[in-house]
Structure 1
Amino acid sequence: MNILDQIIENKRGEVVAAKSTRSLNELQDSEFFERETFSLKKSLTERSGIIAEFKRQSPSKGIINDHSAVLDVARSYEKSGASGISLLTDHHFFGGSPSDILSVRNEITIPILRKDFMIDEYQFHEAKALGADVVLLIAACLTASQVQEFTDLSHSLGLEVLLEIHTEEELAHFNSNIDLVGINNRNLKDFKVDLQHSVTLKNQLPAGILTVAESGIYSVEDFKFLKQKGFDGFLMGEYFMKNENPGKVFQEFISKISM
């Protein structure tokens, strides 16, 4: 069983537990459920194009940052020009929590991506109730029909969808209702990074689709390479979070890519 399989197996148990704790009706009665969401598609074109991530740990890297406060980092990211904030809500493998979104929702005015392993309808209602604007659909753990179903559900809730792919086979998960396509430079099964592979996949998507380069962007050179190849957005977390002051490093990165 690879790490992705382990994550999905654990996620099924988490969803069952969440359903027993808070019903759909309770989610729909929450403070943020009726709020008008922010558009990541729009923000990518108006700001830096970077979806800056708050990330405490990962299965491949272990502890990345266990001292920074999510609200401080999110505020710094926004101030320096982030197009959006990515918040991991998986606890067991990534050290995140749904409460991370709740804690920053009223404090920033750019889109929040709920980054998790979305496998059940309940999670989409939960994302809306938390105050998320965008949800991640990972092709590697969904069928093409599930992607279509979850995309329609997300849109009915006012949420945008970022579909993540990594292989040519996963291109078949794309449908015309998808808002953005993320191409993961890191293979979720063995964690190897290959930027050129992502460019090859991008070139097989229909023209006009907003694309986001995800993971494995470790330098200004990586960013500029992917930008030159036509990517519209860049999901980055570890590059900033591995430092004592992620917000400061993000600000410095923005200055470098603007030169």
Structure 2
Amino acid sequence: MNILEKIIEVKRKLLSIKRSQFPIDYLEKSRYFNRETYSLSRKISKKSIGIIAEFKRESPSKGLLNNYNLPVEKVIIGYKKAGVIGISILTDLTYFKGKEQDLIKTRKIVQLPLLYKDIIIDEYQVLLAKAIGSDIILLIAEVLSKKKIRTLIQTAKSLGLEVLMELHSERELYKMNEELIMIGVNNRDLRSFSINIESSIELSKRITEKFKISESGIYDPYQITFLHKKGFNSFLIGENFMRTEDPGKSCEHLIKKINDNQ
């Protein structure tokens, strides 16, 4: 069993518990459930190169990313100051030490599109994402059937949420559909966790008329400029920022360098 399969197995068990603790009627009473969401796709369309910064404590392959025990509020305020177009919050607890409370805290302090980043396998998670203040959900093509993806997209749209679908290989292209306008191409293989940007570039050539977001393994402005020329509109970056003492300042420096290079 690979890392991804282990994550999904644990996720199914935890979802059963969470559903009993926080049933759907409870989620629907949340202060955020009926709020109007912020559009990430609109932000992308207005920016030549946009950075989506991620708050991420840990990863299965790298372990603890930040030894400074930074509060989420400090990091998020730094990202906002840096000029990001959106913020991704990793909420998986078991493998990433993420917390839904991190997204709730973020929602209270920024008026930016927030991506609920988790391994989504069930419609309940889409409702949960809306209830805690999310604007976008992530769907990982590798873990979902084409039919399930369409169902989850329809659930998200009914709640006013946008969808970012993440691809890792050409074998997942058939799962795309006309309702998707944002496609993430992950440079990291979810089975081996190795990084290969060249394979992502080849994959991106098969994606047309979509906003393309490059994810994982991005760390310098020259890399970003290169990928932008290959058709990527935005870049989701987490580890590169979170490994530093001041993620917000690191993000600010990167965005400045990108702007200087344009």
TM-score using structure 2 length: 0.96
Gaps (5+ residues) in structure 2?
none
The aligned amino acid for 2:8 is: I
Which of 192, 197, 200 is the aligned partner of 1:198?
200
2:142 is the counterpart of 1:140: yes
Distance 1:13 1:100 in 2: 22
CA contact (8 A) 1:77 1:251 kept: yes
How far residue 45 of structure 1 moved from its aligned partner, in angstroms, is: 2.9
Match status 1:238 vs 2:243: no
Provide the C-alpha distance between the structure 1 equivalents of 2:134 and 2:163, rounded to a whole number of angstroms: 11
Task: Tell me the residue number matched to 1:255.
Answer: 256
Which amino acid is 1:258 matched to? Answer: N
What residue ranges of structure 1 are gaps of 5+ in the alignment?
none
Instruction: State the identity %.
Output: 43
Amino acid of the structure 1 residue aligned with 2:194 = K
CA distance in 2, matches of 1:46, 1:112: 17
Distance 1:165 1:197 in 2: 11
Structure 1 CA distance, aligned partners of 2:147 and 2:160?
Answer: 20
1:76–1:248 contact (8 Å) kept in structure 2: yes
| CA root-mean-square deviation | 1.0
CA contact (8 A) 1:43 1:83 kept: yes
Pairing of 1:155-174 with structure 2 (within 5 A): 155-174=157-176
Structure 1 residue 88: deviation in Å?
0.5
Q: Count the aligned residue pairs.
A: 258
Please give the residue correspondences for 1:9-28 in structure 2 after superposition, counting only pairs within 5 Å. 9-28=9-28
Question: In the alignment, which residue of structure 2 is the partner of 1:91?
Answer: 93
Q: Could you tell me how far apart the structure 2 residues matched to 1:90 and 1:232 are?
A: 26
The letter for the 2-side match of 1:109 is: Q
- 1:22-77 per-residue CA deviation (whole Å, 9 max, x = no partner) reads 11001001100000000000112335511100110000100001511111111111
* Counterpart in the other structure of 2:43: 43
User: Structure 2 CA distance, aligned partners of 1:224 and 1:153?
Assistant: 35
From 105, 108, 112, the equivalent of 2:107 is: 105
Secondary structure of residue in 2 paired with 1:37: coil
Cα distance in 1 for partners of 2:187, 2:197 equals 5
Structure 1 residue 228 displacement after superposition:
1.3
Cα distance, 1:106 vs. partner? 2.0
Q: How much has 1:179 moved relative to structure 2?
A: 2.7
Structure 1 contact 46–83 (Cα < 8 Å) conserved: no
How far 1:14 moved relative to its partner? Answer: 1.2
| CA-to-aligned-CA distance 1:151-194 (integer Å, 9 cap, x gap) | 11100011000000011110111101013000000101001111
What letter matches 1:16 in structure 2? Answer: S
CA deviation after TM superposition for structure 1 residue 103, in Å = 0.8
Normalised by the length of structure 1, the TM-score is 0.97
Paired residue for 1:186?
Answer: 188
Q: Give the 4+ runs in structure 1 shifted more than 6 A.
A: none
The amino acid across from 2:181 in the alignment is D
The answer to whether the 8 A contact 1:50-1:84 is kept is yes
Q: Please name the residue that 1:119 is paired with.
A: 121
What amino acid is the match of 2:11?
A: K
